[in-house]
Amino acid sequence: MTFTSTPDPDCPREAATPLTLTARSPEDLLALAPVVLGFHPTDSIVMLTFGAAAPFHARVDLPTSAAEVAETVDVLVAPARRHGVARVVILVYGTDRVMSRRLWTAVRDGFARAGIEVLDALRVEEERWYPLVGRDRRAQLSGVAYDVSAHPFLVQAVVDGRVTHGSRAALAGTLAADAGGVRRLTSLARSRPAAIDLLTEGAWIETTLTEHLAGDHLPDDPELARMLLALRDDRLRDAAWSTLSRERARAAVGWWTHALTRCPEDLVAAPAALLAWAAWLHGNGALAWCALDRCESVEPGYDLARLVADLLERAHPPTQWNEAIDWRSGLDEASRAG
How far is residue 221 from each of residues 25, 46, 120, 185, 206, measured CA to CA in Å?
Answer: 50, 40, 50, 6, 18
7 vs 288, which has greater pLDDT?
288
- How confident is the model at residue 77, as a pLDDT? 96
Number of alpha helices (DSSP H) and beta strands (DSSP E) in the chain: 14, 8
> Alpha-carbon distance 15 to 18, whole Å?
7
User: Cα(first)–Cα(last) distance of the chain, in Å?
Assistant: 41
- What pLDDT score was predicted for residue 16? 35
Angle between helices 69-82 and 97-113 (to 10 degrees): 40
Beta bridge partners of 89: 48, 120
Rounded to two decimals, what is the model's pTM? 0.83
Rounded distance between C-alpha atoms, residue 270 and residue 286, angstroms: 18
**Model confidence over 3-41: pLDDT tens digits?**
555 433 333 333 334 567 788 899 999 999 999 899 999
**Out of 53-62, 75-84, 184-193, 319-328, which region has the weakest mean confidence (pLDDT)?**
319-328
Asked if 167 and 61 count as a contact pair (C-beta separation under 8 A), the reply is no
Question: pLDDT tens digits for 126-151?
Answer: 889 999 998 888 999 899 999 999 99
2-167 in CATH: which number?
3.40.140.10
Residue 8 backbone phi and psi in degrees, to 5: -65, 125
The torsion angle over the Cα atoms of residues 147, 46, 92 and 157, rounded to 10 degrees, is: 0
Query: In whole angstroms, how far apart are CA 109 and each of 11, 232, 269, 301?
Result: 41, 46, 39, 33
**318 or 277: which leads in pLDDT:** 277
Among 267, 214, 202, residue whose Cα is nearest residue 239: 202
Domain extents for the chain?
2-167, 174-330
Contact yes or no for 88/116 (Cβ under 8 A): yes
Q: How many CB atoms lie within 10 A of CB 180?
A: 9
Calculate the alpha carbon distances from 159 to 154, 248, 322 in Å: 9, 23, 33
Q: Which residues are bridge partners to 124 per DSSP?
A: 93, 129
When pLDDT is averaged across residues 216-234 and rounded to a whole number, the result is 95
